[in-house]
Amino acid sequence: MRATTQTRNSATPGTSAPSAHPRAFQLARGTALREADLVLVLGTPLDFRLGYGRPPAVAEKARLVMVDADASEFGRNRPVDVGIAADIRLTLEALERAVPAGGARRTEPWGRRLREKEDAEQAKQALLAASDQTPITHYRLAAELAAVMDERTCLIGDGGDVVTCASKIVPLARPAQWLDPGPLGVLGVGPPFALAAKLLHPEWRVLLLSGDGAFGLNGMELETAVRFGLPLVCVVGNDGGWGMIRSI
């Protein structure tokens, strides 16, 4: 059996594995979802980020199991084989107790192939991140931000291309360390998210990465941060256009 697990990585923090986890296949995720015969979706809607759960993003013959606190998410865009309305952590703990010891060995060859794919893709990303071209690429910008990240840093991504590239480069170690426009892709959420993060966790370092288009929507809210004494850092990826539209 080839099984893969997809968890939320968006504006709503959920159950997630750190980037360094040996079973975290961010760049090989597409291969895993296309080839898996069982997909366990944890607290994540079947939206555009998962190809709506349909082929070719997710194999047509794959059995789909969803765990979510909101049962209304079950069956959106694709029928589910099993829908469990429950707490994700408690469900995973119950599964861990139920799975026979050594059962994971059946998927080891597939896991090794995914790891090879992940490592190869990461090597390609590393070349882009190390590029000295002028102006710098979004990947190089993301690499410079990743170099100053730690577990006490919360990164808010607000934009299109610049955030997509950063999501592939910036390593994450804990839930709520990354916030972005979420399933609806609503631009302009960066400054409000940054303000809320700093108010809720003043001990965090808050880093706002914004595209130039997204910054034009709510950039004036940095004045709010100054007025309320909320120190945060804002980096604007200025590529002089709506990058996702330009690259179509």
Pairing of strands 205-211, 153-158: parallel
182: Cα separation from own chain's centroid? 9
| pLDDT at residue 12 in the model | 39
Specify the CATH architecture of the domain 138-246: 3-Layer(aba) Sandwich (3.40)
CA atoms within 13 A on the CB side of 64: 27
| pLDDT at residue 11 in the model | 39
For residue 173, pLDDT over 60 is answered with yes
What secondary structure, in 3-state letters, does 19-30 show? Answer: CCCCCCCCCCHH
Asked, colleague to colleague, whether 3-117 and 138-246 share their fold, the answer is yes
pLDDT in tens, 54-83: 999 999 999 999 999 999 999 999 999 999
CATH of 3-117, one of 3.40.50.1220, 3.40.50.720, 3.50.50.60, 3.40.50.2000: 3.40.50.1220
pLDDT in tens, 30-62: 999 999 999 999 998 999 889 999 999 999 999
Beta strands (DSSP E) in 109-204 are 153-158, 178-179
**Among the ranges 112-126, 128-142, 220-234, which has the highest mean pLDDT value?**
220-234
Residue recorded with tokens 């590029």: 131
Confidence grade of residue 225 (pLDDT, cut at 50, 70, 90) = very high
Give SS3 for 158: strand
Domain boundaries, the chain: 3-117, 138-246
| pLDDT at residue 2 in the model | 45
| pLDDT at residue 103 in the model | 62
pLDDT in tens, 177-192: 999 988 888 899 999 9
Give SS3 for 107: helix
Q: Which two tokens stand for residue 151?
A: 């577990």
| pLDDT at residue 10 in the model | 40
Of the candidates 14, 74, 9, 87, the residue with the CA atom closest to the CA atom of residue 46 = 74
Query: Which of 6-20, 22-36, 60-74, 199-213 is predicted least confidently?
Result: 6-20
